[in-house]
């Protein structure tokens, strides 16, 4: 248990990104004492760290913003349809100032462990700065895509040039002018940064293991009239978003893919293509469950992409042949495929010749040596559970969460874990977070947790804890839904398939944002069915 002089809080929050910031605000408004710990020197979470050139959100700015304050909605002006990382960071900094959040956040401090005291059911939280605090509730808002993945490349440390990871980009920026640069990885981070790096670098070598599906973002500046229209319609826009599958006001075509005529189908894809963005993979409601339906979207996509790439052999390599479109999160880009028409850009196909390792001067594949001045790792994240694993979270019977989840994460609604009373992991496994608008989803989770705390307080109860039966049922529910979906068939970070050694388990809940919201709201309204309410 915590030392006697340990500071006591109602809630300790880990992280001051999108979810953590709102958690501080919401819990405080409820009269709770809150302490947030943040490893970075500022707020923003992934939007603080991921400063690579071209970093941008793939959800529209007007939707990727907090809904809890109508005043905030009206005050803030987004400059583009899809905001860049600096603009999102400026927004989150504005939120921190406007709601005076920083006074309850301790920066430059990483939480190292949280241990349950089984008598008091309080959590003792320790940090890398030597803090030891005691909290009734332990809330992790560390983010499902925050723990950068650096593959264990042989000899990477012997490379004498510069090594960068997109998820830890230097704050002062990087100038690649005149340099020979390697980018490893063609997920969202690679595809967003490659066109920018290509413009600067003397030579750019893109190391691609798997090709990805990317759709033009369709980004554009927002003018005053559009902004005014969006602000005037905010309430309705939010209503539609809360009732949607992904947390934005999108509606799929009224027909199923193959019910529509060829002409209707092409018109629908063409319309979505013009609008741009990730929603291309939801043009029709059955696109991610029916392979034949998916094929029509893939074929349309392929036609569009082949048309912009000059060299058919390069096009062939850039077109995925191992997964359905949308089965990995679709990427949105600005000029990605066109970049391969440049003379200074070279695509290296790692499927034909994998990376063997690095040496002092560059990268060796099984058939060549690439002499480079800089290596950019755009190799993604140990998603969903990676950040949690770094925290030593120890619950009942001295069991560490990492060990409990050795075969894959198991939760009830993403919000309850048996053996871990009063611990809440926001926007993690068992929830649809990574398939939805993360800002609204963060609000949903924070509000749910705050309401659960109020429920306990109204009854003078001590703790809330998911029951093993409810956890087993939810795991089964999540598995069944995954098995009915094409998302379960790709080697994506949704399944931990990008990290050697991770069990292959589909981690997000696939029932949609609105469906999930309805389920967790009903559970709360029923007096927290599936949770044990511990009186004292």
CA 16 to chain centre: 15
* Contact indicator for 410, 417 with CB cutoff of 8 Å: yes
- Specify burial of residue 72 (Cβ count, 10 A radius: 0-12, 13-18, 19+): middle
134 binds ligand NA7 (CB under 6 A): no
**CA-to-CA distance for 63 and 506, rounded, in angstroms?**
26
329 binds ligand NA7 (CB under 6 A): yes
Stretches 239-247, 377-385, 415-423, 464-472: which one binds ligand NA7 (CB under 6 A)?
Answer: 377-385
Q: Shortest gap between Cβ of 109 and ligand NA7 (angstroms)?
A: 25
Q: Which is nearer to ligand NA7, 137 or 337 (CB)?
A: 337
Q: Which is nearer to ligand NA7, 109 or 147 (CB)?
A: 147
Judged by CB under 6 A, how many residues of this single chain contact ligand NA7? Answer: 20
In the window 495-534, what residues touch ligand NA7 (CB under 6 A)?
Answer: 498
- In the beta sheet, which residues pair with residue 8? 134
Q: Which x/- pattern over 172-211 shows residues binding ligand NA7 (rule: CB under 6 A)?
A: ------------xxxxxxx------------------xx-
Q: Which is nearer to ligand NA7, 282 or 329 (CB)?
A: 329
- In the beta sheet, which residues pair with residue 182? 205, 375
The rounded radius of gyration (Å) of the Cα atoms in the chain is 23
Q: Shortest gap between Cβ of 372 and ligand NA7 (angstroms)?
A: 15
* Interstrand relation of 7-14 and 132-140 (parallel, antiparallel or unpaired): parallel
332 binds ligand NA7 (CB under 6 A): no
Helix ranges (H only) for 309-335 are 312-318
Q: Which is nearer to ligand NA7, 185 or 195 (CB)?
A: 185
In the window 300-319, what residues touch ligand NA7 (CB under 6 A)?
Answer: none
What token pair was written down for 152?
Answer: 């264990």
What does the DSSP assignment read for 235-303?
A: HHHHHHHHTSSSSSS----SS-TTTS-HHHHHHHHHHHHHH-SGGGGGSSTTTTT-HHHHHHHHHHHHH
Q: Shortest gap between Cβ of 25 and ligand NA7 (angstroms)?
A: 25
Strands (E), 180-333: 180-184, 203-208, 214-216, 331-333
What token pair was written down for 409?
Answer: 């994460």
Stretches 24-32, 94-102, 301-309, 376-384: which one binds ligand NA7 (CB under 6 A)?
Answer: 376-384
- Specify burial of residue 135 (Cβ count, 10 A radius: 0-12, 13-18, 19+): buried
User: Nearest to residue 324, comparing CAs of 343, 302, 307?
Assistant: 302
Q: Which is nearer to ligand NA7, 151 or 515 (CB)?
A: 151
**CA-to-CA distance for 234 and 241, rounded, in angstroms?**
10
Residue 248: count of CB within 10 angstroms of its CB: 22
Q: Which residue is nearest to ligand NA7 (CB)?
A: 187
Q: Which of residues 94, 106, 110, 151 is near ligand NA7 by CB under 6 A? A: 151
In the window 424-483, what residues touch ligand NA7 (CB under 6 A)?
Answer: none
Q: Shortest gap between Cβ of 512 and ligand NA7 (angstroms)?
A: 17
Q: Which x/- pattern over 242-281 shows residues binding ligand NA7 (rule: CB under 6 A)?
A: ----------------------------------------
Q: Shortest gap between Cβ of 71 and ligand NA7 (angstroms)?
A: 29
Q: Which x/- pattern over 477-496 shows residues binding ligand NA7 (rule: CB under 6 A)?
A: ----------------x---
Which residues have CB under 8 Å from 422's CB, separation 6+? 121, 122, 123, 136, 137, 138, 463, 464, 465
Site residues for ligand NA7 per CB under 6 A: 145, 151, 184-190, 209-210, 329, 350, 355, 378-381, 493, 498
């Amino acid at each position: 248990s915590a030392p006697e002089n340990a500071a006591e809080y109602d809630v300790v929050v880990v992280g001051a990104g999108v979810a953590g910031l709102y958690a501080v605000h919401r819990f405080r408004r409820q009269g709770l004492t809150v302490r947030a710990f943040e490893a970075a020197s500022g707020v923003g979470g992934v939007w603080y760290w991921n400063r690579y050139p071209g970093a941008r959100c793939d959800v529209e700015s007007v939707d990727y913003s907090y809904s809890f304050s109508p005043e905030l909605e009206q005050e803030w002006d987004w400059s583009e349809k899809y905001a860049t990382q600096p603009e999102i960071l400026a927004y989150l900094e504005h939120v921190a100032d406007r709601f005076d959040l920083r006074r309850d956040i301790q920066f430059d401090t990483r939480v190292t462990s949280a241990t349950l005291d089984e008598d008091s059911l309080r959590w003792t939280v320790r940090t890398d700065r030597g803090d030891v605090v005691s909290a009734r509730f332990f809330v992790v808002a560390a983010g499902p895509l925050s723990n950068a993945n650096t593959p264990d490349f042989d000899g990477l440390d012997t490379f004498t040039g510069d090594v960068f990871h997109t998820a830890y980009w230097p704050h002062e920026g990087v100038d690649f002018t005149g340099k020979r640069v390697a980018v490893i990885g063609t997920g969202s981070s690679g595809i967003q940064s490659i066109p920018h790096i290509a413009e600067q670098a003397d030579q750019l070598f893109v190391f691609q293991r798997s090709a990805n599906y990317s759709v033009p973002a369709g980004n554009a500046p927002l003018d005053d009239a559009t902004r005014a229209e969006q602000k005037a319609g905010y309430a309705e826009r939010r209503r539609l978003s809360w009732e949607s599958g992904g947390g934005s006001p999108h509606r799929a075509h009224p027909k199923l893919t193959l019910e529509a005529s060829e002409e209707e189908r092409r018109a629908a894809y063409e319309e979505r293509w013009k609008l741009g963005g990730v929603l291309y993979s939801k043009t029709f409601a059955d696109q991610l469950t029916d392979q034949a339906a998916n094929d029509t979207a893939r074929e349309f996509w392929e036609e569009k992409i082949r048309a912009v790439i000059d060299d058919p052999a390069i096009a062939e390599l850039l077109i995925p042949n191992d997964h359905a479109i949308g089965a990995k999160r679709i990427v949105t880009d600005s000029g990605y495929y066109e970049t391969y028409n440049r003379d200074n850009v070279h695509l290296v196909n790692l499927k034909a010749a994998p990376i063997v390792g690095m040496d002092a001067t560059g990268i060796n594949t099984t058939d060549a040596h690439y002499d480079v001045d800089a290596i950019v790792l755009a190799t993604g994240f140990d998603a969903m559970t990676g950040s949690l694993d770094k925290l030593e979270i120890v619950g009942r019977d001295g069991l560490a969460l990492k060990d409990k989840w050795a075969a894959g994460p198991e939760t009830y609604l993403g919000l309850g874990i048996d053996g871990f009373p009063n611990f809440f992991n926001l926007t993690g496994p068992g929830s649809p977070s990574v398939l939805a608008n993360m800002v609204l989803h963060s609000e949903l989770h924070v509000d749910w947790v705050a309401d659960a705390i109020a429920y306990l307080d109204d009854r003078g109860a001590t703790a809330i804890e998911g029951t093993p039966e409810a956890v087993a049922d939810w795991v089964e529910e999540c598995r069944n839904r995954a098995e009915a979906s094409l998302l379960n068939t790709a080697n994506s970070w949704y399944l931990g398939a990008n990290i050697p050694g991770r069990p292959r388990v589909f981690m997000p809940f696939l029932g949609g944002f609105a469906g999930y919201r309805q389920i967790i709201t009903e559970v709360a309204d029923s007096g927290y069915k599936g949770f044990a309410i511990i009186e004292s």
